[in-house]
Amino acid sequence: TSTAKSELLKRLFDADGEPVSGQNLADEFGVSRTAIWKYVKELEQEGYEIGTVRKKGYYLISTPDRVNEANIKKYLTTEAFGRTIRYFESCDSTQFIAHELAQEGAQDGTVVVAEEQLTGKGRMARPWDSKAYKGIWMSVITRPHLTPQQAPQMTLVAAVAITRAIEEVTGLTAQIKWPNDLLINQKKITGILTELQADPDLIKSIILGIGINVNQSIEEFPDELTSIATSLKIELGQSVNRAKLIATTLKYLEEYTKLYEAHGFSPIKLLWESYSNTIGRRIRATMVNQTVEGLAIGITEEGMLELKLDDGTIYGVYSGDIEF
Ligand code: BT5
């Protein structure tokens, strides 16, 4: 099955370009040689270049830059997050698929990832540009032991996790702009969309939609985004391994979700504040039916942004957009 296929791929990697015997693998996995041959053909379909040496076996020539299950699992160190991966070359939105899977009972940490989204979405049905092979477009189904009141803070948990992952993989430090943007040099590198399936007093699942611009060049963004968006490649001057960044993001996401479940929001709040560009600045917050201006003084245990208005009153912003 698919585990034999990913094991085959792993062997090809480990062999470092040397041939691996199809017969030996067939014996070891308890499958036919034809089955091995079929997996090789499937891998070729997925963009791997695989060579054959008569009587010696298969060898790996090159790997596609793909965020498929096998590539992510090479780097995965988690217990639950990313242990089930649903991979799509192209889809409407990983978020839609994740909602369906969650409804059908998908387990905690199930990941939906796509090379391309045709109708990627942001908050309030805004479009999210998701160019093929250039970014990380994924949704993580989580089933944390939290109350519905604790759910919105998962956006901040995810923001901290992604910031740590970007730092570990690229050395770049992003800044978190409340509530759901990560910026590098003032431009948006990541957006997070947190959605909930819940009863009034019970969370069924929290679906974390994560979009990270990784390998776009500036011309690969649509015109309306060139002044507000950036990618890791633009900031770093070189391409970044997307599969590795996904695995690292899942590592921190799992770690910080557990931290939040076990110790509440305080440790996350500290991390969040250390990466935030929002606290201490004068901002304008636009909500559904009003706009307020004031000094951002902190976030609460509920993940709410606290503003000190000019008349001295403290105002809590639950959701909305902010400008400096
Ligand atoms: C967000 O919304 O930032 C949440 C984005 C979540 C995307 C992920 S990808 C995987 C999963 N599947 C989905 O369909 N969605 C999630 P918001 O704060 O509303 O920001 C949206 C705004 O960001 C748009 O109105 C544009 O101005 C801008 N934008 C769109 N695409 C962008 C991109 N690739 N990079 C930077 N900014 C972008």
Q: How confident is the model at residue 1 (pLDDT cuts 50, 70, 90)?
A: low
Backbone dihedral region of 253: left (phi > 0), alpha (psi from -120 to 50 degrees) or beta? alpha
Outline which parts of the chain fall under CATH 2.30.30.100.
282-323
Question: What pLDDT was estimated at residue 58?
Answer: 97
Give how far Cα 263 sits from Cα of 181, 209, 221, 292, 306, Å: 25, 24, 40, 33, 22
- Residue in 156, 300, 134 with CA at minimum distance from that of residue 216: 134
Outline which parts of the chain fall under CATH 3.30.930.10.
69-275
Tell me the two tokens of residue 72: 């992510």
Name all residues whose Cβ lies below 6 A of ligand 1. 93-95, 117, 120-123, 126-130, 137-139, 180, 188, 191-193, 209-211, 213, 225, 229
Q: Are 192 and 209 in contact (CB under 8 A)?
A: yes
Q: Let me know how many helices (H) and strands (E) the chain has, helices first.
A: 9, 14
Mean pLDDT, the chain, integer: 95
Report ipTM (2 d.p.): 0.99
Residue 273 has pLDDT above 90, yes or no: yes
CATH number 3.40.190.10 is the correct assignment for the domain at 2-62 = no
Cα–Cα dist 115/199, whole Å: 33
**CA 222, 228, 233, 237 torsion: positive or negative?**
positive
Q: How many angstroms does the Cα of residue 224 sit away from the middle of ligand 1?
A: 13
What percent of the chain has pLDDT above 90?
Answer: 90
Q: Are 250 and 111 in contact (CB under 8 A)?
A: yes
CATH number 3.30.420.40 is the correct assignment for the domain at 69-275 = no
Residue ranges at the known binding site: 117, 188
Residue ranges at the known binding site for biotin: 117, 188
Q: Give the DSSP letter of residue 191.
A: E
Q: How confident is the model at residue 259 (pLDDT cuts 50, 70, 90)?
A: very high
Q: How many angstroms does the Cα of residue 3 sit away from the middle of ligand 1?
A: 33
Residue 107 has pLDDT above 60, yes or no: yes
Residue-wise pLDDT tens digits, 281-313: 999 999 888 999 999 999 998 889 999 999 999
Q: How many angstroms does the Cα of residue 174 sit away from the middle of ligand 1?
A: 16
Ligand 1 atom nearest the C-alpha of 124 is 19
Tell me the two tokens of residue 11: 């062997």
Q: Give the DSSP letter of residue 18.
A: S
Outline which parts of the chain fall under CATH 1.10.10.10.
2-62
Cα–Cα dist 162/190, whole Å: 9
Q: Give the count of alpha carbons within 13 A of 222, CB side only.
A: 6
Question: What pLDDT was estimated at residue 279?
Answer: 93
Q: In sequence order, what are the beta bridge partners of 142?
A: 206
Render the burial of 94-131: b for 16+ CB within 10 Å, e for the rest.
bbbbbbebbeeebebbbbbbbbbbeebbbbeeeebbbb
Q: Which CATH number fits domain 282-323: 2.30.30.100, 3.30.160.20, 1.10.10.10, 2.40.160.40?
A: 2.30.30.100
